[in-house]
Amino acid sequence: MNFYEISTKIFQFTFTIFFFWGITGCTSLIKLGLASPQVTQISEIHNLAQTTQPIKVEGIVKKIVPLLDRKGFEIKDETGSIWVVTQGTIPKVGDRISLEAILKSQDIIIGGEKTKEFYLLYQDIEEVSTDSMPEDN
């Protein structure tokens, strides 16, 4: 094998590596099911307004409400709380849960001012702990 053939092979190998890296780098490993999102503090959710990726939150279920065609519950962590909407089963008040959900928003008008309210549309509750949790309204 001469110098030209060796350098061509090295170039092809390097190109293949960077090409594969470019493809997978542009595709979320979370979307491919190869990684789980990091836990997001509820107070930071508004910073993710543009994301279409699932986000992961952990907290304690504080309230449950029936909606017209869905169910909702409020989850609270040490930084804040957010409402979660689902058509599936829901945890019980006091359960400590971990869930992956899609961030959604709804424009609402309060006192004549338009604002954006965020909520989570959840896919799956990963963990539920029914240890008795203190109530801290």
Per-residue pLDDT of the chain (137 residues; tens, 9 = 90+): 677 777 777 777 776 666 555 555 544 555 555 556 688 899 998 888 777 788 899 999 999 998 888 889 999 999 999 999 988 888 999 999 998 888 888 888 888 888 888 889 886 565 566 654 445 55
pTM of the predicted model as reported, rounded to 2 decimal places: 0.63
How crowded is residue 124: how many other Cβ atoms within 10 Å of its Cβ?
11
What is the pLDDT at residue 96? Answer: 94
Q: What is the pLDDT of residue 54?
A: 85
- Whether the CB-CB separation of 89 and 53 falls below 8 Å is answered with no
Residue type, 75: I
Rounded CA gap, 128 and 112, in Å? 40
What integer pLDDT is reported at residue 26 of this predicted model? 47
End-to-end, the C-alpha distance of the chain in Å comes to 75
The sign of the dihedral angle between the CA atoms of 105, 107, 108, 114 is positive
Q: Which two tokens stand for residue 92?
A: 């019980």
Q: How many CB atoms lie within 10 A of CB 62?
A: 17
